[in-house]
Structure 1
């Protein structure tokens, strides 16, 4: 097994990929979200949109303008947890920046046999698998390039993407998100 490394050590992959960066998000909430200034905005019911001061938004916009794709599928419980409602609301800024974010109910993900862990898949050849503890904190990631892991991630991506629903359409099904 690969070595568990801090996420920050591989953040360069978000700039260096050539074509696609795809993520599966499986958690019911993330500690980093609850610690962010945006959490308070969410709690107050404020709207989220593209923010040119947000480094993620700026990077996504710059790279999507170059033809790269950022995509993700988020699993959502029914009813959504507070953390999932936060992601539905705050994700609108990511979508405006150029990310294609789709959502899927967790029951559908189970039916499709999707993994129960978060990962990024870069250019269908590098998998960044997250290790997250029971307090929703990221402990680190594994960077994996072996054929079996990559093929499994590609298959999960294809199954998830086919059935997932665009964020704005999904929000219409969950009107209490914003």
Structure 2
């Protein structure tokens, strides 16, 4: 596991409360949040998330899940959602398949516009999965549906008012 934190280079922003009924911060993902290719009980279900305490000027949210420990020079994006309406402050487990109207799911690094559960290479050691909710100052980032998660990250840099993060672990 590396010490790299993909959020450390960004301008610091305030935090807010993020909770999950699917995992606790710093604990191992349950099989439900794991990709079936690495765990026989893997279900590729996005985790349950709920958040509060974000700034009053928030106009929308983005949700991302990133593995900075993937054996690449750029980590691995597992989930990238933009334009969640400001009234949405809770996502049920598996909600990635039925997000509210207006929300945009971008392609993960496997090429699918969906949630991809944790899937570290066998024997590579523990990986960190940073699940982040970003409170944004715009109703829509105006991204093309074919935009990459990296393009989302670029736009988040300019529009994030506050950020909340939970980190899960998983290894094979």
- Higher fraction of helix: 1
Q: Which has the higher strand share?
A: 2
| TM-score, normalised with respect to structure 2 | 0.25
Q: Which structure: larger Rg? A: 1
Please report the TM-score for the alignment, with normalisation by the length of structure 1. 0.25
